[in-house]
Homo-oligomer: A and B are copies of this chain.
């Protein structure tokens, strides 16, 4: 067998030699005339080994970090027009700090389980973006290619939203539609933090971009940040996902502070059965409504409705499975890396980022409080009892917030399962945030 293989190799070589010898002269002449235009090769000058080693040293990362006046420029996927010389801090200690922050994010994602599906790729993208000299976030680097492929044009967040739509069951909302209002109240988190951001000194457009963190919805945040304040995209995305991950820490104290023990012990009845046609029509109804009232929100709601409609139609299961699995996974990898490219020291280590972190915390707290208070009010006027805890699920952060509600509820009264009742406001919160996002976009159009 080996002899046969060697024979084949020889045959291959022979065919090649005979054809090459014919081809060479002609092809070479073409080739050379052409090579002038192709890759420009610099004239090579001889160097001694120690010269070579010396110039090699200047290309090491260690050298780059300790020599801040080496004329390195920042990287931007849009290319040279958006790049500028790096500051001394940005190209040295700044990178180190960012890499430490990245390690903190790794710790939170892996050891604490904080939304690892996005935090880990974002953090890794941040690590790659802070490598000196490699320009991975530039238009020809891997992160820049990804950014231009799907973030600059908002394609990836919409695909994620499509996949989330295909994973979402609106049954609980359809069974008890008035809980949708709780998902509305929680949007005070957005507009409250808008006021807060303006107070901190952000201009109105940046403040709007930041405030959407209060929507507790990753793709919506990225979509809006990209439109209104692309320079802050990294900080906004990191804040959004970090606080979504912190929902089990942030929400319970607020929920307990605003409710009495009796309210938290309220039991809610069994939900009515939902007709499958209701589920089928629902995404179309939502989309038609947003077309009539708020076309600015239709990219988000349209993608979401398409995913949900594909699932509920039950005739294109192989497509809806793909949306929920291989497609959303591929896009999640790319979205994370691309967003992470905005964690470069020169983009992230600005005072704004600190403000964004602070406002994000306010946004989640205000949203939670508004949802709970609204639920208290509704409980007063409703025939059927409403446990005010479910208002907290209105911030979205699907399905984490609903689980937190269920957990807090069952602590007060073991066996009191609020999960399905909390899913209604939870998914309504997604729609509410998309509407709020549409309003903000329409203002700055």
Measured CB to CB, the residues of A under 8 A from B are 2, 5-6, 8-9, 11-13, 15-17, 19-20, 22-24, 26-28, 30-31, 33-35, 37-39, 41-42, 44, 52, 56, 59-62, 64, 81-82, 84, 87-90, 93-94, 97, 100-101, 104, 106-110, 112-113, 116-117, 120-121, 124, 127-128, 131-134, 136, 140-142, 145-146, 153-155, 158, 203-205, 228-231, 246, 249, 280, 284, 287, 291-296, 298-299, 302-303, 306, 309-310, 313-316, 318-319, 321-323, 325-327, 329-330, 332-333, 337, 345-346, 349-351, 353-354, 357, 439, 442-445
Q: Which one, B30, B116, B291, contacts A315 given CB within 8 A?
A: B116
User: Do A59 and B22 touch (CB < 8 A)?
Assistant: no
| A60-B293, A136-B299, A295-B61 given; A30·B346 CB < 8 A | yes
With a cutoff of 8 Å between Cβ atoms, the chain B residues found around residue A2 in the complex are: 249
Query: What CA separation (Å) do A31 and B33 show in the bound complex?
Result: 46
| A16-B354, A134-B296 given; A27·B90 CB < 8 A | yes
User: Do B350 and A84 touch (CB < 8 A)?
Assistant: no
Closest chain B CB from A328 CB (angstroms): 9
User: Do A293 and B61 touch (CB < 8 A)?
Assistant: yes
Query: What CA separation (Å) do A337 and B318 show in the bound complex?
Result: 16
Which single residue of chain B is at the shortest CB-CB distance from A327? B330
Query: What CA separation (Å) do A295 and B19 show in the bound complex?
Result: 24
Tell me if A's interface is mostly helix, strand, loop or mixed. Answer: helix
With a cutoff of 8 Å between Cβ atoms, the chain B residues found around residue A329 in the complex are: 318-319, 321-322, 326-327
| A131-B298, A134-B296, A249-B2 given; A316·B117 CB < 8 A | yes
User: Do B291 and A23 touch (CB < 8 A)?
Assistant: no
With a cutoff of 8 Å between Cβ atoms, the chain B residues found around residue A37 in the complex are: 81-82
Q: Besides A39-B231, A60-B293, A319-B332, 17 other CB < 8 A contacts?
A: A5-B246, A12-B104, A15-B97, A15-B100, A16-B353, A23-B89, A24-B350, A34-B84, A37-B82, A56-B442, A59-B296, A61-B295, A109-B313, A116-B315, A124-B306, A134-B296, A322-B326
